[in-house]
Amino acid sequence: MKKISFKLAFISTALLTLSHTLWAGDITQGKTKAAACAGCHGLNGIGLSEEFPNLAGQKQAYIIKQLTAFKNGSRKDPTMNAMAATLSNDDIADLAAYFSSLKISTAQASVADKSRTGKASPREFPENVYISMKKSATIETFPQQQSWPGGPNMLYTAITPNKKMLLSTSPSSNTVYIFNTQNGRQLAILKTGKAPKGVKVSPDGKQAYISNQGSADITVINLKTLRVSHTIKTKKGPHNVRFTKDGKLAYVTLQGGDGLGVIDTQKQKLIRVIPVPGITGPHNLDLSADEQTAFVRDFVHHVAVVDLITGKVNKIITVGNGHGGIDVFPNGQYAATAAIGDDYISVIDTQTLESRDIKVGSASHGIRASKNSQWLYVTLPKKNEIAVINTSTMAVEARVPSGEFPFWIALPGNP
């Protein structure tokens, strides 16, 4: 008796091993094949919405059984029946091996964050992106990840439309640095007013406006001669500007409290101030695609939606705590804003004005969408990282390590 049961045990173990090898798929192959499933089940096996089950960490045999059942029609679901019909037994084994290999703990952590951490990839940076590093006092380029020495506290930054020059303000030295983007060399260091913050280049590329928060004025730079050509008086605390596409007007956030200033660029004069009640200290801004609406981010946790025709505030939207950048995507669909005192960014639908939060896991400040609106870059100054969000899924897809205190983002096609 004893002998037989031992033999049986041996045989059943052998059978188990055998059946195990029968369904032992190839994880690497499975990962490649899983690209076809990622649109619903996520590449990390976490369903992208409620109707799509999680597959990460699921038992291998169960996945095989379900896929086989979908394939032969004994389990019915129109989508999965169609998906499974194209799968061979090898495919099924590979996919099962891959999804079951994904650890549930990692997968759960990735519900909010399916991102990879590592070097910048050209896919995620289809065009060069320039980011100022406040503490490292450098400019870093992506995807190349080169670092150019700059001045103390490199803060706001802007690129010329022809992509040849990059400007970055240094508020502690009351200067602006101008770089040659070909080689990162400094072309000029120009004196500005007190505590220069935001810098923007006019759409024709001829001038740069620098908001001097400390001296309540704007330094105008002639980008041909690389000299200061003019100073425009504003109200208290000008922080950043945004030109209209035709270059005729520039809106300026007056963080001192007055609201949104309107500058006639021909007259080089502040011609009007639109009050923005309901927010605390207008900080950064961007314009809707039709330029009839301004999205004004304050210092606390609000975005004011300002109708530029009537001068009325349409809505105050509560966003993450602390100050941060704001960017209307080049396609006009969303306005996204960062928050230095929170761990998420807010994305506002520019039509419905509904806002949703996207966890980035740490304090954020700079925010800019790529020219094609596919990627949203967010600087995480406390983590020394750039988060790259795929705007199709609104998920953080990559995290790229950077210098210290990444602050502001400049890229072509999205001033």
Q: Give the footprint of ligand HEC on this chain (CB under 6 A).
A: 36-37, 39-41, 51-53, 55, 63, 66-67, 77, 79-80, 83, 95
For ligand HEC, the closer CB: 80 or 319: 80
**Nearest residue to 167 via CA among 142, 130, 137:** 130
Q: Minimum distance between the CB of residue 105 and ligand HEC, rounded to whole angstroms?
A: 19
Residues 6 or more apart whose Cβ sits within 8 Å of residue 391: 329, 334, 369, 373, 374, 375, 376
For ligand HEC, the closer CB: 87 or 387: 87
**Nearest residue to 129 via CA among 332, 402, 328:** 402
Rounded to 5°, the CA angle 177-178-184 comes to 105
Q: Minimum distance between the CB of residue 204 and ligand HEC, rounded to whole angstroms?
A: 47
For ligand HEC, the closer CB: 96 or 398: 96
Q: b/e map of 334-344 (b: 16 or more CB within 10 Å)?
A: bbbbbbbebbb
How far is the C-alpha of 82 from the C-alpha of 172, rounded, in Å?
62
For ligand HEC, the closer CB: 50 or 354: 50
Rounded to 5°, the CA angle 316-319-323 comes to 105
For ligand HEC, the closer CB: 51 or 354: 51
Q: Minimum distance between the CB of residue 67 and ligand HEC, rounded to whole angstroms?
A: 5
Q: Minimum distance between the CB of residue 58 and ligand HEC, rounded to whole angstroms?
A: 6
For ligand HEC, the closer CB: 38 or 216: 38
Q: Could you give the dihedral angle defined by the CA atoms of residues 323, 303, 112 and 407, in that order, rounded to the nearest 10 degrees?
A: -30
How far is the C-alpha of 310 from the C-alpha of 292, rounded, in Å?
9
Q: How far is CA 331 from CA 27, 287, 354, 369, in A?
A: 39, 12, 17, 10
Peptide bond into 406 cis (omega under 30): no
Closest CB to ligand HEC: residue number: 37
Q: Minimum distance between the CB of residue 347 and ligand HEC, rounded to whole angstroms?
A: 24
Q: Minimum distance between the CB of residue 73 and ligand HEC, rounded to whole angstroms?
A: 12
Q: Minimum distance between the CB of residue 63 and ligand HEC, rounded to whole angstroms?
A: 5
Q: What are 400's two structure tokens? A: 């790229």
For ligand HEC, the closer CB: 37 or 386: 37
